[in-house]
Amino acid sequence: MIVDALSWICLVLGGLVGVIGAIGIHRFPDFYSRQHATGTTDTLGAILILLGLGLQAGFSLAALKIGLIFLFLFLTSPAATHALAYAATHSGLKPKLDGTPGEDMP
């Protein structure tokens, strides 16, 4: 019963983090801040959902497969986010900077 409760908490939190990331895509002004919002929440949301699914599966072959997916996402999602940001920088995309000079700006 405790494992089921923990599993559902992880699943709901993972879904909520995914929705927060989707809101971040629409709310933030430029590519780089959107990339930060989605890269962070995408990884955390997927990890929470996979953790919840792994708890539901128990000790089985399905749990092992979920663990391998977890490892793959944990390693590749931040790397993909970094590669997209690097490609945008390399192509000349500048971040949107708001504010007056002297306030957190060089």
Residues 10 and 3 sit within 8 Å (Cβ to Cβ) = no
- Percentage of residues in the chain having pLDDT higher than 70: 92
Mean pLDDT of 74-83: 90
For residue 33 the two structure tokens come to 């801040």
Per-residue pLDDT at 48: 94
Mean per-residue pLDDT over the chain, rounded: 87
């989707």: which residue's tokens?
Answer: 22
For residue 3 the two structure tokens come to 């494992």
Mean pLDDT of 66-72: 92
Where is average pLDDT lowest: 23-27, 48-52, 66-70?
23-27
In angstroms, the CA 6 to CA 58 distance is: 12
Per-residue pLDDT at 102: 47
Per-residue pLDDT at 105: 47
32-65 burial string, b = 16+ CB within 10 Å, else e?
A: bebbebbbbbbbbbbbbbbbbbbbbbeeeeeeee
Q: Is the pLDDT of residue 29 over 90?
A: no
